[in-house]
Amino acid sequence: MTLPIFEKFLFPFLDLLKDKKVHVSSEMHDYIAKYLELTEEDLAERIPSGYITRFKDRVKWARTYLMKAGLVESSGHGKYQITDEGLKVLKTSPNQLTMESLRKYPNFLEFQNLSPSQVEPAVPVIQSESTPEELIEQKHRELRMNLAQDLLEKVKQATPAFFEGLVVDLLIAMGYGGSRYDAGKAIGKSHDGGLDGIIKEDKLGLDVIFIQAKKWENTVGRPEVQAFIGSLEGARAKKGIMITTSKFSKEAEGYIEKIEKRIVLIDGEKLTQLMIDHGIGVTTVQTYLIQKIDMDFFNEE
């Protein structure tokens, strides 16, 4: 089952409180999960950053939005009850509560930094499918994808010598190769039987990895991968990394899963993702912090 859109969490949150009693967060979670008929898999799904489940994130923001609209109020840490306005909403709009409904409340609009004139039904200003955290994650993924595409184009335009240096910088940033001097000597220097270089697996050089890094334009198929593995056999090597700016065929990817040697295939897309992860060829222009209450700070015991 797919987790319902965020807007669907609003009504069950308010519905639990219709008895006018104080309810705690755990009751909210149990009631909403049962109301929406969620599975264990639904409840375990996490947002991309991984720090919270998507379910709990949506319950949290449903609570925040209902409180900002004045339909729910806090009765202490983790305790909530319905307001008179909330009861009125349940009577006038049974079984349904939307983001559009919340936009009728000035306090909610103020929370969203909106004025009534900015709210046009034909152009929703709040996406009901997602919470703010999910929107941030989504936009971050879009920015990263665009960056990766631009980065791959720059890599393809680079000279073979520059590409070799890029590979050195990336592998060192990932913890391989010892010093840059050692790695620089190893990568791109051997050209021995189809191998472009050898790099230390760890800083002590207890094991080595053989490298082939090529700026291929066409899809790299199984024959090219087999040739690389044949080169490893000649060098009595057990581990290898094959890097390309293009892609590997399904047959090539399936082949390395059947052999005894440990081979890693890095295509252009994966290469740019690794470059972004390890700060190679990119620079940070803006950082946004998402913070939460430090409960230990307020512990007076």
Q: What is the pLDDT of residues 95-106, one digit of tens each?
A: 788 888 888 888
pLDDT given for residue 118 in this prediction: 47
**CB 160, CB 137: distance < 8 Å:** no
pLDDT given for residue 188 in this prediction: 53
Residue 165 pLDDT exceeds 70: yes
Task: Please identify, in words, the CATH class of the domain defined by 6-130.
Answer: mainly alpha
Q: How far is it between the farthest Cα atoms of the chain? A: 80
Name the fold adopted by 149-277. Trna Endonuclease; Chain: A, domain 1 (3.40.1350)
* Count, residues in the chain: 301
- Burial 10-39, CB ≥16 within 10 A → b, else e: bbbbbbbbeeeeebeeebbeebbbebbebe
Residue 194 pLDDT exceeds 60: no
How would you class 86 by CB atoms within 10 Å of its CB: exposed for 0-12, middle for 13-18, buried for 19 or more? buried
CATH 3.40.1350.10 residue ranges for the chain: 149-277
CATH 1.10.10 residue ranges for the chain: 6-130
Q: What is the mean pLDDT of the chain?
A: 82
Q: CA triplet 221, 239, 244: central angle to 5 degrees?
A: 35
Beta bridge partners of 244: 214
pLDDT given for residue 169 in this prediction: 86
Residue 161 pLDDT exceeds 60: yes
Residue 267 pLDDT exceeds 80: yes
